Each structure stands twice: as C-alpha cells, then as structure tokens.
C-alpha cells in the first residue's frame, strides 16, 4: 500500500527520506514541491531520476479535481466542488475581503452532528478528510483561482473537532514556513461545541480563533436544533469556553444563527447577554440561510436589530455577518456533499 506523502509532517518526511539514504535537506525540497501543488514525482526536477522513481513506488500525491466551480456575479465569491481520490465530493468557498482572500474549507464528507438548520448534515457522515485533503482545499483554491489565500476558516462541511487529529496535523502543515506558511492568527476553527475536544484544543495553546456555534442560550431551544446540546448543555459549554479563554488568552467568538421563532426572542437576547457577561465574548449573528429541507425561516430584519440592540445594551459586542455568494448557495450551512451535482457535471463532459 502506497502512503499519502502530503499528510506527512516535515519531521516524518525527513525520517522517510533519511531511511532512503538521503541527506537532510532533501526532505525540505520534497515538502516544498508538495506544498506548491506539484502532483507528480517526475516533476520534482531537482531530485535524481532514481529518487523520483523510488518515491513513486512508495507514495502517492493527493490532487482533487474541480467537479464544479461557481462564481458569484454579486461579489466574486467562488464555490468549488472538489472530487477527491475516492470519488467523494466536498465544497470550499473563496471569499474576497478587504483584509485578504479567505477560504472556507470542509473538514468531513458529510457531518455526523445533525443540526436541524444545516444542509451539510442531511446525509450524515460519510468519512473524515485526511490532512492532505484539508490542505489541498487551500492549495488548489489558490492555484485555480489565482487569488493568494491569506486566511482560512474551518467552517465548511463537517465538524472539525470530530476529525481532531487530522485537523491538528493539517494546521501544522499549512502553518509550516516551508509550505503555505499561513499564520495561526489567520485561521478560525468553528465547532458546534464538543466540550471534550475544546479542552484538548485548549491544552495545545494555539493562536487560532475559536468560534463556537451557540445559536440559543437556553437548553430547550438549543437541544431542539442541535443534538450535541443533549450531551453537553449550554452551561457546560460556556464554562468550558471560560476555561479555554483562561488557558489560551484567546477571545472566543460565538456564532448565533437568527431563526424565526426559535432563537430570536428578546428574552433570549437578555439571557444570552447574562450568560456571556464577563467573558469578553464576541457574538457573530448570522441570519439563517435558506435550506429547503429544514422548514426553518430567517428572522425579520426588525427582530435581528432588536436582538443586536439588547446585546449591545448589555455590553456584549455583536456583529451581523455579511452574506457572500448568496446567488450560488455558498453561505454558511448551505454547503453539501453534493455528489449528485458532481455526477451531472461528469456526465456533461464528453470523453471524461
Ligand atoms: N461544524 C462546525 C462548522 C461548520 S458550520 C460548527 O458547527 O460550527 C459553520 C457555521 O454555520 C456554524 O455556526 C453553523 O451552525 C452555521 N450554519 C449552519 N447552517 C446554517 C444556516 N442554514 N444558516 C446560517 N448558518 C448556518
């Protein structure tokens, strides 16, 4: 069985290459090739022919293909549907902000968490992504779009903390100075609230931004839309967030989806402010994006304004997330496994 070479850390690669009798600097060369998007060993032209051959026999290089690419006519947001090596598909979104281009990547094929408002979870979890497949979304988004990527958000399909080890390894890879060299402060990771994993993450003391999907301040409403709340309820989660802040010194950002009649009552704003007091938290309000299957609706602009005002009156900073790529269904919660779309695309391409 060939090994996935792009999932290897610089140290692991070095160990493999020294076992092949190669000098120390060689692994740096191979790592740079891989992380600049080279997909064939034969193209690594500063390696001997024989070494390229040996690598080819022992390792494979992942390379997703573009199954579908949609560009928003409104704001230039690009949504990619990638076909992975085993035929599964995941989506990533490239957004153009003043502070730099940001890619939103998927962490799993499908999602096991079952949030009621989210399209990504409809078919359940198919499999977790490998470190190389996480990295490839950043790398190939940059190569295909020609837009230099400076920020990453782990907010696409899947629950990143459910794929903990591979996500940690990905962070090490994408952060590596010999690779894409994207700083931890330019990376955000969003979780639905896996408390045990947030504790593990805190121990690593990474400088990334942790976003926690809260969506309701009371257990009755949160459990109704997020099954994870039955395992770790609101207070348990918020206590864990306090510990996270104490350990890492990093302010947590809370995502709060505005769903009509579910999460947008003034009393909920009061309760939320009370529960977040003393936490230096930031609330990121997201008007619910439409997903046909859910039967849920977004809050009215008045309800959103009222909610935000109450939070601010209590000293909680709250911003309203701008919706990008709305004409191509590229917003939060709208990303899907979408293998049907990939099949259609493939069928339209003659000779493929
Ligand atoms: N599993 C992670 C990351 C993926 S979702 C998490 O739960 O945080 C990224 C964000 O989009 C989460 O806050 C999620 O709750 C939110 N989201 C999901 N569906 C949505 C929808 N239909 N409208 C608005 N936000 C949604």
Look at residue 350 and tell me if it is in a domain. no
Residue 100: which H helix or E strand, with range? Answer: strand 100-104
Is the pLDDT confidence value at 193 over 80? Answer: yes
158-192 tens-digit pLDDT: 999 999 999 999 999 999 999 999 999 999 999 99
Q: Give me the CATH number covering residue 156.
A: 3.20.20.70
Q: Does residue 130 line the site of ligand 1, with CB under 6 A?
A: no
User: Which amino acid residue places its CA nearest to atom 12 of ligand 1?
Assistant: 213
Which residue is catalytic, options 16, 91, 130, 345?
Answer: 91
Residues 276 and 327 in one domain: yes
Is the pLDDT confidence value at 349 over 70? Answer: no
CA distance 75 to 142: 17
Tell me which residue range forms the domain holding 53.
3-60
Q: Does residue 228 line the site of ligand 1, with CB under 6 A?
A: no
Residues 214 and 320 in one domain: yes
**Ligand 1 center from residue 110 Cα (angstroms):** 13
Residues 109 and 37 in one domain: no
Residues 169 and 236 in one domain: yes
The DSSP 8-state label assigned to residue 185 in this structure reads G
User: Which amino acid residue places its CA nearest to atom 13 of ligand 1?
Assistant: 213
Mean pLDDT of 129-144: 98
Q: What is the tally of structural domains in the chain? A: 2
Strands of the sheet containing 187-191, edge to edge, are 65-71, 78-83, 89-97, 100-104, 149-154, 187-191, 209-213, 253-258, 282-287, 317-320
- 241 catalytically annotated: no
Q: Does residue 117 line the site of ligand 1, with CB under 6 A?
A: yes
Look at residue 260 and tell me if it is in a domain. yes
Look at residue 20 and tell me if it is in a domain. yes
Among 155, 197, 293, which is best to mutate for testing ligand 1, by the most ligand atoms less than 8 A from CB? 155
14-27 tens-digit pLDDT: 999 999 999 999 99
- 332 catalytically annotated: yes
**Ligand 1 center from residue 158 Cα (angstroms):** 9
Residues 72 and 53 in one domain: no
Look at residue 351 and tell me if it is in a domain. no
Please list, in sequence order, all residues whose beta carbon lies within 8 angstroms of the beta carbon of residue 256, skipping any fewer than 6 positions away: 214, 215, 263, 272, 283, 284, 285, 286, 318
Look at residue 321 in the predicted model and tell me its pLDDT: 83
Task: Scan for tokens 């350990």, then name that residue.
Answer: 247
User: Which amino acid residue places its CA nearest to atom 15 of ligand 1?
Assistant: 213
pTM as predicted = 0.95
36-95 tens-digit pLDDT: 999 999 999 999 999 999 999 999 999 999 999 999 999 999 999 999 999 999 999 999
Q: First and final CA of the chain: distance in angstroms?
A: 27
Locate 241 and state its tokens.
Answer: 């967030």
Q: How far is CA 135 from the centre of its chain?
A: 11
Q: Is the CB of residue 64 less than 8 Å from the CB of residue 137?
A: yes
Residues 39 and 70 in one domain: no
Locate 9 and state its tokens.
Answer: 């850390």
CA distance 255 to 207: 19
């Amino acid at each position: 069985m060939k090994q996935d070479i792009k999932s290897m850390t610089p140290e692991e690669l070095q160990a493999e290459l020294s076992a092949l009798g190669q000098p120390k600097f060689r692994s740096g060369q191979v790592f740079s090739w891989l992380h600049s998007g080279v997909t064939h060993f034969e193209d690594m032209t500063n390696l001997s022919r024989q070494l390229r051959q040996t690598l080819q026999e022992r390792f494979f290089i992942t390379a997703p293909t573009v199954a579908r690419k949609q560009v928003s006519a409104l704001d230039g947001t690009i949504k990619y549907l990638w076909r992975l090596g085993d035929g599964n598909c995941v989506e990533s979104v490239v957004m153009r902000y003043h502070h730099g281009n940001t890619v939103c990547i998927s962490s799993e094929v499908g999602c096991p968490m079952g949030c009621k408002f989210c399209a990504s979870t409809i078919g359940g979890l198919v499999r977790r992504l490998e470190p190389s497949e996480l990295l490839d979304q950043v790398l190939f988004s940059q190569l295909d779009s020609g837009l230099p990527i400076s920020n990453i958000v782990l907010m696409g399909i899947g629950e990143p903390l459910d794929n903990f080890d591979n996500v940690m390894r990905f962070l090490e890879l994408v952060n590596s100075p010999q690779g894409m060299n994207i700083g931890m402060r330019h990376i955000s990771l969003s979780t639905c609230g896996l408390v045990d994993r947030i504790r593990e993450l805190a121990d690593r003391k990474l400088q990334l931004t942790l976003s926690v999907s809260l969506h309701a301040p009371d257990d009755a409403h949160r459990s109704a839309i997020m099954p994870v709340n039955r395992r770790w309820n609101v207070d348990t989660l918020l206590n864990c967030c306090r510990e996270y802040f104490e350990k890492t010194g990093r302010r947590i950002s809370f995502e709060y989806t505005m769903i009509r009649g579910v999460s947008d009552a003034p009393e909920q704003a009061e309760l939320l402010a009370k529960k977040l007091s003393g936490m230096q938290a930031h609330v990121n309000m997201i008007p619910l994006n439409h997903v046909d299957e859910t039967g849920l609706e977004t809050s009215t602009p008045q309800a959103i304004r009222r909610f935000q005002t109450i939070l601010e009156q209590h000293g909680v900073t709250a911003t309203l997330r701008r919706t990008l790529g709305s004409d191509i269904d590229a917003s939060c919660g709208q990303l899907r496994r979408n293998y049907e779309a990939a099949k259609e695309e493939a069928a339209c391409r003659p000779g493929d």
